[in-house]
Amino acid sequence: MTSMIVVSNRLPFVLKRCENGILSRHPSAGGLVTAMSPVVTEKGGLWIGWPGLYLNENDVIPEGDEKSNNAAERIGPKQIRSVNIESELFDEYYNGCCNTAFWPLLHSMPDRAVFKKEGWKSYLQVNELFGEKTFSALKNVVDMHPNGRAPLIWIHDYQLMLVPNYVRDMINEHGLHCKIAFFLHIPFPSWDIFRLFPWFDDVLVGLLGCDLIGFHIDGYVDNFLECCVKGLECRVDRENQVIHYDGRTIRVQSFPIGVPFKQFEEMSRVVKSEVVPHPDCKMILGVDRLDYTKGIIHRIRAFEKLLDEHPEHMEKVMLMQIAVPSRIGVQEYMELKDELDREVGRINGRLSTHKWSPIRYIYQCLKQDQLCAFYRDAYVALVTPIRDGMNLVAKEFVACQIGEPGVLILSPFTGAGETMHEALICNPLEEYGLAECMHRALAMPLGERELRMSALRRRERTNDVHHWVKTFLKATKAFNGEDNGSLAEPLTINQIEKWLAKYVGDTMKLVLLLDYDGTLAPIASHPDVAHLPEETKWILEQLVTMPDVYVAVVSGRNVNNLKSMVGISNITYAGNHGVDILHPDGTMFTHPDQIKYTPLIEALRVELESVTTNVEGAWIEAKGSTMTMHYRNVATEKRPALVEQTTAVILKHSFKPMKAHCAVEARPPIQWDKGRASIHLLRTTFGIDWSERVRIIYVGDDTTDEDAMTVLKGMAATFRVTNSRPVKTSAKYRIPDTRSVITLLQWVQQHFQNKINRKSSVSSNHSD
């Protein structure tokens, strides 16, 4: 049975159409493919990705080569699920968003980033397509093995950061269980950089659909946690590296990736030399995808400085730069290629002699064993990116150094620079320093080279790619909750104190605007049995007696029904989303525009009853000026058609259809909602300058509460009760459940009780 579904932007190979229409396979170079291919072949996994072109119905993906040393070439079509994407859409997503926005931004190069709405829209669309494909692959596996364990879904990299949430949504909807994990292969930047992305909150919410999120190093984990705190006000436990969000616990951890060490080592034992090594001419090697993050231009200029400053190396050393074509067709990459061509030409023109050229430059993708020969025969490897998630070239070089050892020069701005301590660590932006570092490497005595290289090899042999997979998979099993991850820890009163103490303060009156269903009372199978918990009722009763606290319950229910469910006097009840507001003194506000819809509602009721009459579990709740069709107890497969029909009927009768928790509401099409009602209530109760006189807390769990959270943004402490379903919200804070609402109310009650106690002790001191 399939134990893992790997999802990445590209498949491990690219398909090309030959002139006769037949498809041919071509290896995709890059770190992700190198790392994941051995895992998929060994675990019998599925790989979901884009095949490189739009597939027609009759296209046949060519078989893999079972005998190949390269795991990517062994993967056959049975293990492949290709995501078919129209080329225009793919281009907008890949070049209009991934390459132009995320790649530079996540590499902390914001000046190069371009943010375009169309690109972002395509990103959303393509991520949704990947989400659907992943879900259908999962569902197939589960349907075929109903008693087996659902496969792990392992999503990769910055192109697919919204997929976790799309999949989470679908598995929730279908009542399936499985674990979702994500690994980011590139760096994750600090909050100051990440917040530049205009839709940063969508990205964070997308990723938080996971159970486990992996990064290469702790620095990226710290940055991500910080972004969740600053960007989403998430509750984060930094010490244990977990986030409490939407009622779930998400683990965030570093997993430094390794390479298939043995495989590289073995290949380098058998492969023939690519360049005839001249005993007197040492090879300095650079291997990179041609990308501006890799620091190739700085590197060759530093090499030029080496020759200028230390002419004794003339004719005794050469730089072999292998640059793999990447993102061909993108302007920035074409410019980089032109600049590299020019610089290589300039330096060679200036320094070559009749028997020697300082730089050899190959612009193509080599076969893996050819690459091993270069790694083995190099005297120095120059791995000097300006920024790099990890960098596998550094590790592959070390694995292939089976003869007299050479030296690794490594940039500290790579993930590899964090652990490969015995390399010569050198800032690539300082070209003289880098030239001196090369000089030192070329002159390094054998004893020191042996010492450094053997320590590097020992570490990389142990921490190879198999170890990386093993530790990652072990972490996916380490949740204490079962298949859907752990439940979030309940909210503590200390956390509320951190959020609210300063805002609520001691001098102002507090207005509590509270939704009922899903906020004060847990959601129940029928509205009539959604009772207010005793504890909540007791706290509310205390609160309404306090002079500085004002409580209003704002709900979609009919106002009289709401009053009887809460059952406390001295509260303001806003029913039908605030169309009717009943004050504690018995006066009632009804929105004037709603009156003309009253005669129409009966006809709507009759037609809605006829839609639901034959659908088991569906029922209509008439609430005066609004009406709701409930489908919580309707079979899942019947819901979409029912919702569609209901919506059509509501529109036909000139009412406004609104989605709610397992319900569709019909509201009069007047410009009124919980947001406008809240402002109306605040203005009529506390005057036009209410925002200077009162502090406000709004708590709700529903999309209808978002209207209030949006208008109150910046002027209130807003809380969204979110429960296991990842949602985007305008609320400032998220809390996991109605239990946490009780904690919140307890804090308010204690805060104001302390205030009363302080006042009375001051006045009794005075009377003493």
Question: In terms of CB distance, is 181 or 513 closer to ligand GDG?
Answer: 181
| Of positions 10, 81, 185, 630, contacts ligand GDG by CB under 6 A | 185
CA distances to 74, 594, 604 from 598, in Å: 69, 7, 11
How many whole angstroms separate alpha carbon 223 and alpha carbon 191? 7
Task: Mark the segment that binds ligand GDG (CB under 6 A) among 241-249, 388-396, 481-489, 699-707.
Answer: 388-396
Task: Mark the segment that binds ligand GDG (CB under 6 A) among 78-86, 305-313, 361-369, 739-747.
Answer: 361-369
What is the per-residue binding string for ligand GDG in 301-340, x denoting contact by CB under 6 A?
---------------------x-x----------------
How many whole angstroms separate alpha carbon 250 and alpha carbon 460? 29
Nearest distance, CB of residue 385 and ligand GDG, angstroms: 8
Residue 31 engages ligand GDG in binding (rule: CB under 6 A): yes
Nearest distance, CB of residue 166 and ligand GDG, angstroms: 23
Residue 213 engages ligand GDG in binding (rule: CB under 6 A): no
CA distances to 239, 491, 501, 697 from 498, in Å: 18, 12, 6, 15
Residue 399 engages ligand GDG in binding (rule: CB under 6 A): no
Sign of CA dihedral 529, 534, 536, 539: positive
| Of positions 211, 388, 422, 515, contacts ligand GDG by CB under 6 A | 388
Question: In terms of CB distance, is 263 or 558 closer to ligand GDG?
Answer: 263
Q: Which of 248, 742, 145 is nearest to 493 (CA)?
A: 742
Question: In terms of CB distance, is 375 or 690 closer to ligand GDG?
Answer: 375
Q: Binding residues for ligand GDG, how many (CB under 6 A)? A: 24
Instruction: Please state whether beta strands 317-324 and 282-289 pair in parallel, antiparallel, or not at all (unpaired).
Output: parallel
What's the per-residue H, E or C state across 306-320? HHHHCHHHCCCEEEE
Nearest distance, CB of residue 428 and ligand GDG, angstroms: 14
| Of positions 163, 180, 371, 735, contacts ligand GDG by CB under 6 A | 371
The residues in 253-282 that bind ligand GDG, with binding defined as CB under 6 A, are 257
The per-type count for the chain, helices as H runs and strands as E runs, is 26, 30
How many whole angstroms separate alpha carbon 679 and alpha carbon 760? 34
How many whole angstroms separate alpha carbon 590 and alpha carbon 598? 12
- CB-based contacts of 345, cutoff 8 Å, min separation 6: none
Cα 690 from chain centroid (whole Å): 39
- CB-based contacts of 417, cutoff 8 Å, min separation 6: 410, 411, 423, 425
Nearest distance, CB of residue 680 and ligand GDG, angstroms: 54
**In degrees, to the nearest 5, what angle opens at C-alpha 616 toward C-alphas 613 and 622?**
50
Task: Mark the segment that binds ligand GDG (CB under 6 A) among 389-397, 567-575, 595-603, 649-657.
Answer: 389-397
Question: In terms of CB distance, is 289 or 695 closer to ligand GDG?
Answer: 289
Residue type, 472: F
Cα 178 from chain centroid (whole Å): 18
Task: Mark the segment that binds ligand GDG (CB under 6 A) among 32-40, 445-453, 639-647, 727-735.
Answer: 32-40
Question: In terms of CB distance, is 388 or 621 closer to ligand GDG?
Answer: 388
Nearest distance, CB of residue 182 and ligand GDG, angstroms: 13
CA distances to 78, 148, 164, 261, 673 from 369, in Å: 27, 40, 36, 13, 66
| Of positions 133, 282, 289, 457, contacts ligand GDG by CB under 6 A | 289
* Owner of token pair 């893996």: 368
How many whole angstroms separate alpha carbon 586 and alpha carbon 146? 58
Q: What secondary structure does DSSP assign to 48-76, as a single string?
A: EEE-SSPPPTT--PPPP-TT-SSHHHH--
Residue 109 engages ligand GDG in binding (rule: CB under 6 A): no
Residue 372 engages ligand GDG in binding (rule: CB under 6 A): no
Nearest distance, CB of residue 106 and ligand GDG, angstroms: 10
Q: Tell me the two tokens of residue 104.
A: 């530079």
Nearest distance, CB of residue 263 and ligand GDG, angstroms: 11
Question: In terms of CB distance, is 400 or 642 closer to ligand GDG?
Answer: 400
Nearest distance, CB of residue 414 and ligand GDG, angstroms: 7
| Of positions 171, 186, 532, 582, contacts ligand GDG by CB under 6 A | 186
Which residue is nearest to ligand GDG, using beta carbons?
31
- CB-based contacts of 21, cutoff 8 Å, min separation 6: none
Contact residues for ligand GDG, defined by CB under 6 A: 29-32, 34-35, 185-186, 257, 287, 289, 322, 324, 365-366, 368, 371, 388-393, 396
